[in-house]
Amino acid sequence: MKIQLKPQDYAVNRPPIWCPGCGDYGILEALRRALAELSVPNHEVVVVSGIGCSSQLPHFMKTYGIHGIHGRAVAIATGVKLANPRLKVVVVGGDGDGYGIGLNHMIHAARRNVGLTYIVSNNQVYGLTTGQMSPTTLRGVKTKTTPFGAIDEPVNPLALALAAGATFVARGFSGDIAHLTTVIKKALTHRGFALVDVLSPCVTFNRINTYDWFRARVYKLEEAGHDPSNYYEAYKRALEWPTLDPYGKIPIGIFYATEDKPTYEEEWVKLLGGAPIDQKLQPNPAEVL
């Protein structure tokens, strides 16, 4: 019998230690709501992170979790998924962790189509180390390490993921938890690698890309008639921000989704001569005992 779960069923007894108003609260709430709406039992979820403010998230989830090392969360999560393909493996981290030191792992997980849900808290700054330029800092923005304004072209994670062959590419906004919950739910039920980039303000060290800054710019792809099965349209939408106009409108929602490709774990099990992966998850060890 399927048990109906509530978001608080995924909460632990201690509150997060993020700054009041940090976008990571919105991501945590949306993830809990999405899991509850899908009624995923706690013991069937593993949340893996790297290093950074948002990477503390596994500590605030009543699920299995690994607080890993800087930039290597996707590699660790790939191992978890291959060891037990039935688990829901969620990777969480920031733009510094995931699009800087860890970017290579994201590209390879995307091309392999590993069945991970990768949620990136993109606040366009290194928050934990108190405000240095990150890979997604926009040109001209002043930070501790760019006192005269950043001169680097920012990374476009959605375009990169699409080019690498990701089968699910989306963007959410932590200031719109209801919408973000819907996006994460779709990512969690996707068969294959799912990237959810989340615009997530760092209220302490990024005074440019604030909630109001994003509210004035975001628009929803589903309301703009976007067809997420069209790869080339998805790529065009992905270029809208920050590549074509870093200060223009920002699409959020599902850019691209396809389940046409086999997943890495399916291929892996086949290679080992195992039976096809049963979507039914393992019983709760507590229930077995």
Residues of this chain that interact with ligand SF4 (CB under 6 A) are: 18-19, 22, 24, 53, 123, 127-128, 202-205
Report the C-alpha gap between 100 and 98 in whole angstroms: 6
**What are the phi and psi torsion angles at 173 (to 5°)?**
-135, 125
Toward ligand SF4, which CB reaches closer, 113 or 122?
A: 122
CB of 179 to ligand SF4, least distance (A): 20
At 199, list the tokens. Answer: 């615009």
Range list of H helices, 141-275: 157-164, 177-189, 211-215, 231-239, 264-271
Contact 221, 251 (CB under 8 A): yes
Toward ligand SF4, which CB reaches closer, 54 or 182?
A: 54
CB of 214 to ligand SF4, least distance (A): 14
Toward ligand SF4, which CB reaches closer, 104 or 130?
A: 130
At 255, list the tokens. Answer: 């850019």
Contact 265, 114 (CB under 8 A): yes
CB of 233 to ligand SF4, least distance (A): 32
Toward ligand SF4, which CB reaches closer, 132 or 204?
A: 204
Contact 158, 122 (CB under 8 A): no
Q: Give the H/E segment covering residue 91.
A: strand 88-94
Toward ligand SF4, which CB reaches closer, 167 or 206?
A: 206
Toward ligand SF4, which CB reaches closer, 28 or 221?
A: 28
At 92, list the tokens. Answer: 């969480």
CB of 194 to ligand SF4, least distance (A): 23
Strand extents, DSSP E, 116-225: 116-122, 125-126, 132-133, 168-173, 194-199, 218-220
CB of 27 to ligand SF4, least distance (A): 10
Report the C-alpha gap between 144 and 147 in whole angstroms: 6
CB of 261 to ligand SF4, least distance (A): 34
How many Å separate Cα 272 from the centre of its chain? 30
